[in-house]
Structure formats: structure tokens, C-alpha cells
Amino acid sequence: MTLPVVLISEEEIQTRVGELAEQLSTDYGETDDLVLVGVLKGSFIFLADLSRRLTIPRTIEFIAVSSYGSNSTSTGAVRLVMDVRGNIEGKHVLIVEDIVDTGHTLKYLIGMLESHRPASVKTCALVRKAERAEVEVQTDYLGFDIGDEWVVGYGLDYAEKNRTLPYIGIVTPDD
Ligand code: 5GP
């Protein structure tokens, strides 16, 4: 089996994650009630690295949604599979997402989390495919913009494979 072609190297990812952590530590420096909400499964590595590099207090929650099956065809419909466990009312929520493609998932998540009455909801995505956007949704903190390619690694999978690659690479679905 051939390995995915490197699109964003491990070093580039680590540098950018460090920059995002520094920016977040500055922006949220005045609050001690920041909650990082990781979107399962794809954000688990990004969330782990990002949260360990923050220099401010934070707690961690997870949420799970499903919009894709085991292949890369979007239905546009997003379904909540697991809600946050802790009480996020009055807290500053930062959604930590692996990738923004059409934007449907992030838009749904913002609305869903706002219904818990937090003090604020912002978004942080590792990767965004700007040209694929179908709905307007704000990515407040962004790692990288990429083209219209299916990417894997650093938490991202294709049919559950390649999640633990240290870099982000390109695969052709149905290879
Ligand atoms: P959206 O709702 O923005 O279209 O899709 C967001 C979700 O689609 C992501 O959280 C991710 O699960 C999945 N997704 C979209 N593009 C890719 C990709 O290139 N690679 C992987 N692994 N997942 C993707």
C-alpha cells in the first residue's frame, strides 16, 4: 500500500499549532473559563497538541457528529451523535474542528452549542477547503487553507485509515 503524498509536513503542522496556541493564549488570557470542544473523531490529535501548548487555564469537552459515512460523499445533513457532558453555560467555548469542507458541520455545531447558553462560541479549524464552502460560517482561528482534495493524517481518516500519520497527506478516494 502506498503512503499518502505529503501536503502539509509534520514540521509545518507543529509550527502552526504553536502559533495558534500562542494567539489563543493571548486572546483568551483574561478568562479562566475557556472550554475546548473537540469534534470527534478527526480533531483528537489536533486538540491534544493544541491544548498542551496553551499557557492559560482550559477544560476539555468532546462532541460527536456524523455527516459522512465511510466514504467521502457529503449528504449535507448533520446528526448529533454525542453531546458535551459538562455544563458549558456561561463559559467561553472554542470549537476545535479538524476540517471545514462545505461548512454544514461547523454551522450546525455553532447553533447546537449556542443552545447551551455559553458566554461565547468561536471556532478553530486545522484545515479549510475554502473553495468548497456551501454555507457561510466563520473560522475564527485557522491552521491552513487547502484545495479540493481528500486529506488524511493528523487525526483525519479515509475509511478509518491513516488517522495517525504525523503529516497531512492526499489520497484519492476509492484508490
Ligand atoms: P462539512 O460539513 O464542512 O462539509 O464537512 C466537515 C467534515 O467532513 C469534517 O469534520 C470531516 O469529518 C469531513 N471531511 C471533509 N473533507 C475531508 C477530508 O478531506 N478528509 C477527511 N478525512 N475528512 C473530511
Residues 6+ apart with CB under 8 A from 48: none
Residue 77: per-residue pLDDT: 85
pLDDT surpassing 80 at residue 39: yes
Helix (H) or strand (E) run with residue 16 in it = helix 10-27
Asked if residue 25 lies in contact with residue 50, where contact means CB atoms within 8 angstroms, the answer is no
pLDDT classification of 66: cutoffs 50, 70, 90: confident
Q: What is the mean pLDDT of residues 12-30?
A: 97
Nearest-atom number in ligand 1 for the CA of 42 is: 12
Domains present along the chain, CATH in parentheses: 10-148 (3.40.50.2020)
pLDDT surpassing 70 at residue 157: yes
Note if 101 is an active site residue.
yes
Residue 72: per-residue pLDDT: 56
Given the residues 49, 101, 145, 175, select the one marked as catalytic.
101
Residue 128 Cβ inside 6 Å of ligand 1? The answer reads no
CA–CA dist 49, 160 (Å, integer):
21
What is this structure's pTM?
Answer: 0.94
Average pLDDT, the chain: 92
When comparing pLDDT for 39 and 76, which is higher? 39
CA–CA dist 60, 101 (Å, integer):
24
CA of 32 to the centre of ligand 1 (A): 31
- The residue whose C-alpha atom lies closest to atom 5 belonging to ligand 1 is 101
pLDDT surpassing 80 at residue 71: no
pLDDT classification of 1: cutoffs 50, 70, 90: low
- The residue whose C-alpha atom lies closest to atom 9 belonging to ligand 1 is 99
pLDDT classification of 4: cutoffs 50, 70, 90: very high
Residues 6+ apart with CB under 8 A from 32: 56, 57
What is the spatial order of strands in the sheet that 120-128 belongs to? 79-82, 59-66, 34-40, 92-100, 120-128, 141-145
CA of 35 to the centre of ligand 1 (A): 23
Asked if residue 113 lies in contact with residue 89, where contact means CB atoms within 8 angstroms, the answer is no
Q: How far is CA 53 from CA 28, 43, 56, in A?
A: 14, 15, 9
